[in-house]
Structure 1
Amino acid sequence: MQSARAPRPQPDPDSRQLRRVALSGLLGTAVEFYDFLVYGTVAALVFGELFFPRADPAVGTIAAFGTFAAGYVARPLGGIVFGHFGDRLGRKSMMLMTMVLMGAGSFLIGLLPTYDTIGVWAPVLLITLRVVQGIAIGGEWGGATLMVVEHVEHAERTRGTTHRRRGLWSSFTQLGAPLGSVTSAGVVTLVSMLPDDEFRSWGWRVPFLLSLVLLAVGLFVRLKVAESPLFTAAKQAPRTPARRPPLAEVLRRPRPLLLACCVGIGAFTAQALLTGFMISYAVDHGYTRPQVLIAVTVASCAALVVLPVASTLSDRVGRRPVVLAGAVASAALAFPVLALVDSGSPGLLILALVLGQGLAQSTMYGPLGALLTEMFGTHVRYTGASIGYQMATLVGAGFSPVIASSLLAAYDGSSTPLSLLLCGSAAITALTVWRLRETHADALDSPAHRLDNPAPEGIRS
């Protein structure tokens, strides 16, 4: 008699869905950073002469980075719009819309005629597409991160576990940043090996057109993702008739929103100065384009290791000490990093970016997704986390390349103002962390995460 086989264990649907959501967040953020860093890289290399040819070279570079900032200026607007509907209608539908707008905007930039073809309409259309991208990206990060964090919370409750891993799982969304950087740097490195005339005529378009591939893959994954269980439960709960719009709820107690903005400034300033802006700076100091892009790629690969480590550590010891350690390291390394870059050695350039971006910046950035989502209640979490994050990108990353370009022009190319800019932004993050309340061990719907709680959430008591 043949013995009956034991039934094969069925996969846990929560675990399967959680992995799918994490992959969706990773791809979404990768598309986001790919699109923005491709623009930053190409802007540093050729956009000044292609779209602003009548300006002198220094003004052309500043103008090109100005369109870079235009995309960041639109981000808070995207956070408000998509945050509102994400808190009212659902996370998933907003994630699909933001990804389509993001990828389409980048693809259309790759098709834009230059100034020589259509005159002043070239920079006008370029800035318009940057604004569209910025609005879409303003809602992308919040939806992707919330979906991961809220699915993690649901899965842990279902299993009855008390060890929270929101930092670890949300790090997949954060990993999209270095992944997008590696991909963009790799693609631009390949096309930059073309002869200069070919790169300027058509080669710069290739990285933008390839964003369509990332868009297709990302949409395929996102269509299979289920809506956030926490949002579904909150939607089905009885509602008070006088509930304000999410933005009004967040602004009613603005201090958590201000703290959410300030805590990310150090990470985003370092990210902007040590990636897109660094390409222009290093090329002006005698490095070849491939040398700089290789250094950025190596630093991004280091970040792929440091980010999940820092995020996992924040699940164990707390968000505050990990982010604070990254801020202190960023300030301490600011002058050494720029000195290494100024040395003219390609090997020291790689070391500089690994230390500044791969280590210090990634330590600040890794726990940020979990930290910001833990500062707001479920019914306003999309709005609050998105606006806080996007305001930090606007201040830290949107304006810092323009400020850095102006400082270099004013101080005859000295790197000292850039080091001070890195130190100052890290100090803002460090001081903000000191005012935050630790949230890594709290349930997402605990009283600490309600805007109507007498002690505003996210504030250190």
Structure 2
Amino acid sequence: MASITDYGSLSSIDHGRELRKAVIAATVGTTIEWYDFFLYGTAAGLVFGKLYFPNSDPTTATLLAFSTYFVGFAARPVGAAIFGHYGDRIGRKATLIATLMIMGIATFLIAFVPSYDSIGIWGGIILTILRAIQGIGVGGEWGGSVLLSMEWSRSGQHNRGFLASWPQWGVPAGLFLSTIVMLGATALSGDQFLNWGWRIPFFLSIALVGIGLWIRLGILETPVFQKLLNDKKIERAPIVEVFKKQPKEILLSALVRLGQQSQFYIFTAFIFAYGVGTLHLSRDFILAAVLVASCVSFVSIPLFGHISDRIGRRNMYLIGTVVCGLFGFLYFGMLDTAVPSAVFIAVVLSLIPHDMMYGPQAALIAEAFTPRLRYSGSSLGYQFASIIAGGPAPLIATALFAAYHTGYAIAIYLALCSVITLIATALMPDYTGKDVSTEYDA
């Protein structure tokens, strides 16, 4: 196997092998981390309000549960800053090993947090702290995983959108795993699930972390980062430098995610509270629908990443933004019928418009930043969206429905997010097909 300093001597066969290993390591790692992250969202919609905020009315308890959920999003930019710094200083591989360990340990410990009945409000406080640690881990994970895949693409190859979409594929894979394990846990009786059954999926996460570490320890550093080392172009303070050099790209990266991320967390987290609490459908029915939706994304995410290599990253993203902005009205129109078949179809279809954006998104954002600042810049831009989009989306949706008693109020909110994203995407640079291995921030 080639050493870390002889990338130039890699044959096409060796390079292809290392590329596959990097893509697999990035995808498996993100799958595990998103399994951990989604478990919390599902549990927040199903049990955390009852276990940790039992003295509140149902709506307030749900809001409080999603508030702890939001903490994980607020912590993501912190993780992006910390691990972005080290990702641009010591490399993509070492940083990704650290993020996986942090995320996995925090998730494992959630399985042991006592409920309100045992230690009062301290249960909610401990839960919130562990959620923040989860968010820090995820905040550093995304940028490194995308770069691990994308930066192994040879200059001149027109497949970066496809390669970078595979870490994105880890999201529906993590959603699938978390949903199917939670579905198995809900097979227990109501009291058993509420008392201890929901803890099993969190406990099992430690085994997945061990698998992810084993895979990531066997990969090489990316050729792009090794070139930075060889050329002595490592920045001492990449976070500071990226704010000086590319502030516009950071802001636009956050805004292009607004329409995508707000929809995703309403479609995959808020739907549990809405479907069970408002539509009075069974939690297993909603879990099954989300499970099927995640399976559809297995195909649609890499498909739209591939299409972006053909028609341009920005063009694909603009199309997806328009479709997403309109789909919210159809989605809530079908949900509000409360007809199980219509609800099931709406949930299953919901991630396709989302994936039209999510597939090309990784390459669109990562390519916008020059190599020596790429981990920091892409991570910060991507994770700042968590504060304005993913984190508050379930909270805003809950508040809007409580105020207006119609899902169309939430659809209007999603449409407004899409309008902002449409403008930001039009201003975003597009590096489809261009060389992104050399510095281009001058």
Q: Same fold (TM over 0.5)?
A: yes
CA distance in 1, matches of 2:276, 2:121: 28
- Aligned partner letter, 1:60: A
Give deviations 1:95-129, integer Å, cap 9, x for gaps: 00000011111110011111111112111100000
Write the distance in 2 (CA, Å) between the matches of 1:378 and 1:438: 15
Q: Tell me the amino acid that sits aligned with residue 374 of structure 1.
A: E
**Are positions 1:42 and 2:36 aligned together?**
no
- Are residue 141 (structure 1) and residue 142 (structure 2) matched? yes
Distance 1:322 1:239, change over 3 A: closer
Q: 2:333, 2:408 within 8 Å by CA — same for their partners in 1?
A: no
Contact 2:276 2:283 in 1 (8 A): yes
* Alpha-carbon distance between aligned partners in 1 of 2:200 and 2:48, rounded to the nearest angstrom: 14
Instruction: Give the structure-2-normalised TM-score.
Output: 0.95
SS at match of 1:226: coil
State whether residues 299 and 350 of structure 1, in contact with CA within 8 Å, keep that contact through their aligned partners in structure 2.
no
Is 1:296 aligned to residue 296 of structure 2?
A: no
Q: How does 1:373-392 map to 2 (within 5 A)?
A: 373-392=366-385
Secondary structure of the structure 2 residue equivalent to 1:353: helix
Equivalent-residue separation in structure 2 for 1:213 and 1:176 (angstroms): 17
Could you tell which deviates more after superposition, 83-92 or 420-429?
420-429
* CA separation of 1:302 and 1:239: change in aligned 2, threshold 3 A: closer
Query: For residue 238 of structure 2, what is the aligned residue in structure 1?
Result: 246
Distance 1:437 1:65 in 2: 35
> How many pairs were matched up?
430
2:205 maps to a residue whose letter is S
Structure 2 match to 1:22: 23
Note the C-alpha offset of 1:346: 2.1
Deviation at 1:356, TM superposition (A): 2.2
Letter in 1 for 2:255: C
Q: In 1, Cα distance between the equivalents of 2:436 and 2:233?
A: 19
Deviations 1:135-164 (A, max 9, x none): 111000111111111111xxx24xxxx332
CA distance in 2 between partners of 1:62 and 1:282 (Å): 16
Amino acid at match of 2:239: L
Query: Which residue in 2 is equivalent to 1:307?
Result: 301
Which structure has the greater CA radius of gyration?
Answer: 1
Match of 1:424 in 2: 416
Structure 1 position 278 matched with structure 2 position 279: no
Q: Are the counterparts in 2 of residues 298 and 350 from structure 1 also a CA contact under 8 Å?
A: no
Task: Verify the 8 A CA contact 2:266 2:394 in the aligned structure 1.
Answer: yes
> Which amino acid is 1:91 matched to?
R
What RMSD in Å do the two structures reach over aligned CA positions? Answer: 1.5
Cα drift, residue 244 of structure 1: 5.8
1:33 is displaced (CA, Å) by: 1.8
1:238 shift after superposition: 3.7
Superposed CA offset, 1:66-104 (max 9, x none): 010001100001000000011011111110000001111
Task: Verify the 8 A CA contact 1:83 1:383 in the aligned structure 2.
Answer: yes
Aligned match of 2:355: 362
The answer to whether the 8 Å contact 1:376/1:384 transfers is yes
**% of aligned pairs identical?**
37
Task: Quote the Cα distance in structure 1 between the aligned partners of 2:206 and 2:240.
Answer: 36
TM-score (norm 1): 0.91
Gaps (5+ residues) in structure 1?
1-9, 454-461
The Cα offsets for residues 193-218 of structure 1, whole Å up to 9 and x where unpaired, read as: 21100001110101111111221111
Partners in 1 of 2:31 and 2:263 — Cα distance?
18
Query: Could you give the per-residue CA deviations for residues 23-53 of structure 1, whole angstroms, max 9, x where no partner exists?
Result: 1111121122211211111111110111111
Instruction: State the 4+ residue runs in structure 1 displaced beyond 4 angstroms.
Output: none
SS at match of 1:186: helix
User: The residue matched to 1:366 in structure 2 has which SS?
Assistant: helix
Aligned to 2:194: 200
Q: How far apart, CA to CA, are the structure 1 residues paired with 2:397 and 2:136?
A: 24
Cα distance in 2 between the residues matched to 1:215 and 1:408 = 38
Residue 366 of structure 2 contacts residue 374 of structure 2 at CA under 8 Å; is this kept in 1? Answer: yes
Matches within 5 A, 1:100-139: 100-139=101-140
Give 3-state SS (helix, strand or coil) of 2:151's partner.
Answer: helix
Distance (whole Å) between structure 2 residues aligned to residue 130 and residue 209 of structure 1: 15
1:317 has 2:318 as partner: no
- SS of corresponding position for 2:220: coil
State the Cα deviation string for residues 214-238 of structure 1 (Å, max 9, x = none): 2111111100011111111111214
Residue 446 of structure 1: how far off its partner (Å) = 4.9
2:158 alignment partner in structure 1: 164
Equivalent residue, structure 1, for 2:5? none
Confirm or deny: 8 A CA contact 2:371 2:438 kept in the other structure: no
Tell me the equivalent position of 1:216: 210
- Separation (CA, whole Å) in 1 of partners of 2:45 and 2:225: 42
For residues 351-395 of structure 1, the C-alpha deviation after alignment (integer angstroms, 9 at most, x for no partner) is 2123321x1001111111111110111111000000111111232
